[in-house]
Amino acid sequence: MQDYYHHFRTLDQPAPEGRERDNFNDDTPDDNPSHATLVLWCFLIFTPLLILISWILAITVDIPSKDFAYELDIQCRVEAPKPKKGEEPVERPSFGRWLVTNWKFWAAIIFFVVVISFSEIFVAIHGVNPRYKHKHERSLDIET
């Protein structure tokens, strides 16, 4: 039983007698799947997820963006579009009123505010830590 419970001992307890079991290298090469099998599993797991995520993003982001661009194009025209046959001409609101009352415009503004806020908060908390030293920068290490 001592071999089983040696993982649960605390630092103030003495080490168990005998060699502690190290099961890091217990897997034999026969137990490991081949590279082709791992690639197949990654493909089978992540491809449907990526397709699902892209489909959801197309519905929630792409279609409203296209609709907003079309509506913006109609509003920015100097002359109002001609009504279809059998329809009465509709008086369109001013551009400012249309823009303020459009939910897609406010959703885009909120998205950009959230992204910029999160990035500024992250930099404020973690600071700027450049990963690469540029060639034109001098080293701050002082050699004596």
pTM: 0.49
Domain enclosing residue 44, as ranges: 2-126
Q: Is residue 141 part of a domain?
A: no
| Structural domain contains residue 49 | yes
> Who contacts 110 (Cβ-Cβ below 8 Å, separation ≥6)?
none
- The answer to whether residue 105 sits within a structural domain is yes
Would 144 be classed as within a structural domain?
no
Q: Give residues with Cβ within 8 angstroms of 93, minimum separation 6.
A: 101
pLDDT at 12: 60
For residue 140, tell me if it sits in a domain.
Answer: no
Give the DSSP per-residue string, 36-51: HHHHHHHHHHHHHHHH
Q: Is residue 137 part of a domain?
A: no
- For 67-86, how does the pLDDT look when each residue is reduced to its tens digit (9 = 90+)? 999 988 888 877 777 788 88
* For residue 113, pLDDT beyond 90: yes
Structurally, the chain folds into a number of domains equal to 1
